[in-house]
Amino acid sequence: MKLSWRVILLWTLPALVIGFFFWQGAFSPVAADMSRNTASTRMTYGRFLEYLAADRVTSVDLYEGGRTAIVEAVDPELDNRVQRLRVDLPGNAPDLVARLRSEGISFDSHPPRNDGAIWGLLGNLIFPVLLIGGLFFLFRRSSNVPGGPGQAMNFGKSKARFQMEAKTGVMFDDVAGIEEAKEELQEVVTFLKKPERFTAVGAKIPKGVLLIGPPGTGKTLLAKAIAGEAGVPFFSISGSEFVEMFVGVGASRVRDLFKKAKENAPCIIFIDEIDAVGRQRGAGIGGGNDEREQTLNQLLTEMDGFEGNTGIIIIAATNRPDVLDSALLRPGRFDRQVSVDPPDIKGRLEVLEVHARNKKIAQEVSLEAIARRTPGFTGADLANLLNEAAILTARRRKEAITMLEIDDAVDRVVAGMEGTPLVDSKSKRLIAYHELGHAIVGTLLKAHDPVQKVTLIPRGQAQGLTWFTPNEEQGLISRSQLMARITGALGGRAAEHVIFGDAEVTTGAGNDLQQVTNMARQMVTRFGMSDLGPLSLESQQGEVFLGRDWMSRSEYSDEIAARIDAQVRTIVEHCYDDSRRIIRDNRAVIDRLVDLLIEKETIDGEEFRQIVAEYAEVPEKEQYVPQL
């Protein structure tokens, strides 16, 4: 077991104290002088006088001012051998020296040394010195413990992690699916490595780059790639680490961070989740000296204030750009705002190829097919997808990942963990009619997305699911598409109403009705797709942020509000009537599909459309076919 020097010191301090007092008492100069003449046998003063009268004493050494004597005497009982004896002399024996002189006995007097006061002073000082030294080392030890009492003077220091050359293990080749963002940031790396290429034509390096995008799109991964590529000092910190419970700590940490950065310029500072400290100022209720606002003010000053900073590039990431202060976003602070969006099908294929490098995937698995099936997935979602597929492969004791594990992993990521299938009962048949209501309405409407599969296997909170494959490049949505989505979402409720009657309608359509109401209201209030005309009556607002939007104000009169409610109801009722009509007209194919679904529990989209085509004309849907 390896002991630290502090532990050894704590054990040796008591030993040193005890040893010192023992040395002072037993090995002082007086005691050391006596130790050379100490006799092992004592003699009484009376016997000493008898030896003196019998001429047996050969020499006498007097110590301690004549109170102790070491006597060398001849003992006849020991064959006249000389023996050293110690004698305690009485204080009232002044004639002893005269008698020794008259008898011709060799004697010597050893006067006491006058250094007892010095040793007494040192003895009194040694314990306080050792105590203070021990406390000092204990304080030093506690100061290295995170959150210890020694950290009291370090609150104002920056908590940024600093690396002279950040070896993150991530390069630009490891970042896929966001090529536009990579190009923007590669210029920053090039400027740090070869600044003369830009300064020759009068270009200046951007002071700040703000990465904006939904969670999981790769903003932090890009920052790691910049750190790995640049080869310059790299500071990384989270926005929440600036603000503490103590007033002024955040601003002090900002000053300390930029002070260190200026000492190591050129360098990069990466602030993750900058919205924690960069939110809009003046939004608090009641005003006051907001600690977060003071931290933001200091950050604004350091980024582009009176002094400014030279050779420091700030890269920040956030998924809430709407709450950031406008002074933070202006040129001169964050000159560039790089949007990191979810990848398209080509980007998803590149991301899948990166994450499939260290996984055993069967030959028949097509990454292109996976990319086509996962529209809207971010890089983190795709990484989680392949990881879940690998976990399922290991659980099923297979040697490689197959398409079956990929399909199950997609379902698990989107809808949740697979539950226990229902037994053949009335509840299972009702759920089958509900899900097939969604599927049949979506299939027979031209503007609706095609059906991918219908299943009765429970996942998450859903007892059954109907999957649709959305169009890939669907940036704009037409009125007919919105009406088709509302009609398809009401298909499950319409099937329950037509097949089982109004009294048997269940709560299974609760989530569908919420989506339907939201889409219909947006058609009326935001997109101008109603009889009220092309008016935007409601703005798209996020959550309540501090004091902003605390008191929601109405942007229209009560009369317009009543007309909005009427229009929403008209749209929903019209779509609901269409759903019930489609269910009634296709009752035969629905009954056949219900029996097949209860037997197989899952019907894929191609088989579903083939069966429906035997009973009704399936409209040909317009699908976007991406070029890989």
Q: How far apart are CA 85 and CA 415, in angstroms?
A: 102
Q: How far apart are CA 408 and CA 397, in angstroms?
A: 15
- H or E element in which residue 313 lies: strand 312-318
**List of long-range contacts for 568-572, beta carbons under 8 Å, 24+ apart:** 568/517, 568/520, 568/521, 568/524, 570/530, 571/483, 571/486, 571/520, 571/523, 571/524, 571/530, 572/486, 572/490, 572/516, 572/517, 572/520
Contacts of 459 (CB under 8 A, 6+ apart): 411, 412, 415, 416, 417, 418, 419, 465
Strand order in the sheet with 68-75: 41-43, 81-88, 68-75, 57-63, 106-109
The tokens describing 178, both together, are 């966001």
Q: How far is CA 192 from CA 161, 203, 204, 221, in A?
A: 20, 13, 11, 19
Q: How far apart are CA 246 and CA 463, in angstroms?
A: 51
Q: Which residue has the tokens 């599927």?
A: 439
Say if CB 265 and CB 311 are below 8 A apart.
Answer: yes
DSSP strand pairing (312-318 vs 208-212)? parallel
Contacts of 114 (CB under 8 A, 6+ apart): none
Q: Which residue has the tokens 């490689």?
A: 400
Q: How far apart are CA 124 and CA 173, in angstroms?
A: 71
Asked whether the CA dihedral 370, 373, 378, 381 is positive or negative, the reply is: negative
Catalytic residue list contains 504? no
Q: How far apart are CA 246 and CA 239, in angstroms?
A: 16
Phi, psi of 156, rounded to the nearest 5 degrees: -80, -5
Q: How far apart are CA 595 and CA 607, in angstroms?
A: 14
Say if CB 579 and CB 485 are below 8 A apart.
Answer: no
Q: How far apart are CA 77 and CA 54, in angstroms?
A: 14
Phi, psi of 43, rounded to the nearest 5 degrees: -135, 140
- H or E element in which residue 128 lies: helix 116-143
Residue 262, classified by CB atoms within 10 Å of its CB into exposed (0-12), middle (13-18) or buried (19+), is middle
Which residue in the list 72, 184, 241, 435 is annotated as catalytic?
A: 435
Which residue in 403, 410, 390 sits closest to 363, CA to CA?
A: 403
Query: E-strand spans in 445-546?
Result: 451-455, 465-468
Q: How far apart are CA 185 and CA 314, in angstroms?
A: 12
Contacts of 226 (CB under 8 A, 6+ apart): 185, 188, 189, 268, 270, 315
Q: How far apart are CA 178 and CA 495, in angstroms?
A: 43
Q: HSE of 162 in the Cβ direction (CA atoms, 13 Å)?
A: 17
Write out the catalytic residue numbers.
Answer: 435
